[in-house]
Amino acid sequence: MAIDPKKHEMPTQEPAVRARNFKEVALGYEEDVAVAEALRCLNCKNKPCVSGCPVNIRIPEFIAKIKEGDFEAAYQIISTTSSLPAVCGRVCPQETQCEQKCTLGIRFEPVAIGRLERFVADWHNAHSTEAPAAAPANGHRVAVVGSGPSGLTCAGDLAKKGYKVTVYEALHTAGGVLVYGIPEFRLPKTIVAKEVDTLKSLGVDVETNVVIGKTLTVDELFDMGYEAVFIGSGAGLPNFMNIPGEAYKGVYSANEFLTRSNLMKAYKDEPDTPIMKGGKVAVVGGGNVAMDAARTALRLGAEKVYIVYRRSMDELPARREEVEHAEEEGIEFRLLTNPVEILGYNNENDPRDAKNGFVTSIKCIKMQLGEPDEKGRRRPVPIAGSEFTLDVDVVIMAIGTSPNPLIKNTTNGLEVNSHGGIIVNEGGLTSRASVYAGGDAVTGAATVISAMGAGKIAAKSIDEYLSAKN
């Protein structure tokens, strides 16, 4: 049988329809499509895809089970190495990981590994009624700080080995960036909740509303009897550009805008938490967070949404798929453009004018690409005299985040680098004995899957450390 050179297409909601709702964009494969896609896998000897996966999912093995139509068995294979398959199948950048290494990809399009992973996880969630059983307890207790992807992965891996794990979450809902950051239309919150429930049935305790560094310190966790602590507190603090006008009403960090919409459900009708809807919106930045913010603004009813990015499309760091989706939905990309000032309404004659202090426009300058910087990316340089203004009501700064210092400031002997990232060795161990860390708290803002990989490595190290203590 000849191999289909192309991946089976992912069915999606029509752009014009989805641009105005918060339902998931990608609809997922049907069973017959999944089997047909699985049949494209050559089951090659070297399995390069596995090495391309930060958590080393046994990809050809689970795909072989799909070929047989045994979807539950496929799920069981994935779940031996991944705690969050339904999440990864949706948000992983497979094009730069497993799929990039796929042997089939040398001549044709690679196997749609991510879509198959998602299919298997969704199939399991829809059909399986049995909660996974907790492993026999080994008597050791571990505390995990933060319930984002690294924390959940670390907790899951340790729980499967019989550790009694407690996950501490500062917010009122578990999931970290999966619930406050990534929008519903890309990752439905019911899926995150389901993954958290799976961990709970493995015996993991999740304590929300506990801010480590405030409510409890890392030292107190040891006093409470935990033998190791994993810090997966994420990259908390949003960066601003430090240009004039950032204090005007209508200027948000992407974190704030997305948290209001996602975690606080401001996208619903008559929400308790307000958000500025409608009007014209400029999102500054070119990463996945910028795409999420822009597409969220559109769905909240914006008449026009711009992405303002200082480099060109080639350097734009967001996933291709997200950029294409955003373009299809009508988001306008203003590339090689950089904001220099945000302008606001100010009625000199009437200080009580209700419009005072709200954003009216953003002043930008055109850029051109100059010499490459130390990372090899061509540095954007302003073109003198090219300033212009865009009329907008809302400006969303999506230019990255810095690690949250709350834990560093309250934990003696925890060393951080110049960016505030916690310093760890290759096993995830920090400068403090028995304290491990991973994810954005270490690297600064990165991807869900790299955080999961770090959680996995730390879990392995913690297991080796605590089993040697016996």
Partner 1 sequence: MYKIVTKKSLNPTVTQMEIEAPLVANKAKAGQFIILRVDEEGERIPLTVAGTDKQNGTVKIIFQIVGATTEKLNHKNQGEYIQDFVGPLGVATHIEGLKNVCGVGGGVGCAIAMPVAQALHAQGAKVTSIIGFRNKDLLILEDEFKACSDKLVVMTDDGSYGRHGNVTVPLKEMLEAGEKFDMIITIGPLIMMKFVVAAAKPFGVPVTASMNPIMIDGTGMCGGCRLTLNQDGKKVTKFACVDGPDFNGYEIDFDEAMSRGRTYFDFERKAHEKACNLFKGVD
50 touching partner 1, by CB under 8 A: no
- Which residues, 6 or more positions from 23, have their beta carbon under 8 angstroms from its beta carbon? 13, 184, 185
Interaction of residue 260 with partner 1, rule CB under 8 A? yes
Among 70, 246, 315, 321, binds partner 1 (CB under 8 A): 246
Give the CA distances from residue 263 to residues 54, 176, 292, 467, in Å, rounded to whole numbers and listed in that order.
27, 10, 14, 38
Using the rule CB under 8 A, is 272 a contact of partner 1? yes
Site for partner 1 contains 343 (CB under 8 A): no
Query: Whose Cβ is closer to partner 1: residue 4's or residue 256's?
Result: 256
* 408 binds partner 1 per the rule CB under 8 A: no
Report the alpha-carbon distance of residue 369 to residue 165 in Å, rounded.
50
Separation between Cα atoms, residue 378 and residue 369, nearest integer Å? 6
Minimum CB–partner distance for residue 384 and partner 1 (Å): 25
Structure token digits, residue 74:
């496929």
- 253 counts as binding partner 1 under rule CB under 8 A: yes
Q: Which of 45, 107, 242, 412 binds partner 1 (CB under 8 A)?
A: 242
Residues in contact with partner 1, counted by CB under 8 A, come to a total of: 42
String of DSSP letters for 7-57? PPPPPB--HHHHTT--S-SB----HHHHHHHHTT----SS-HHHHTSTT--
The answer to whether 458 and 437 have CB atoms below 8 angstroms apart is yes
Q: How far is the CB of 275 from partner 1 (least distance, A)?
A: 9
Q: Give 82 or 259: the residue with its C-beta nearer to partner 1.
A: 259
- List the interface residues with partner 1, window 217-236 (CB under 8 A): 236
Q: Which of 147, 150, 153, 259 binds partner 1 (CB under 8 A)?
A: 259
Rounded (5°) CA angle 66-68-71: 40
Q: What is the dihedral of CA 406, 220, 84, 445, to 10 degrees?
A: 20
Tell whether residue 270 is a contact of partner 1 (CB under 8 A). yes
Report the SS3 class of residue 120.
helix
96 or 208: CB nearest partner 1: 208
Give the C-alpha separation, 313 to 329, whole Å.
Answer: 17
354 scored as a contact of partner 1 (CB under 8 A): yes
- Provide the mask over 191-220, with x wherever binding to partner 1 is found by CB under 8 A and - wherever it is not: -----------------xxxx--xxx----
Binding site for partner 1 (CB under 8 A): 170-172, 180, 208-211, 214-216, 236-238, 240, 242, 246-247, 249-250, 252-253, 255-256, 259-260, 263-265, 268, 270-274, 276, 354, 356-357, 404-406
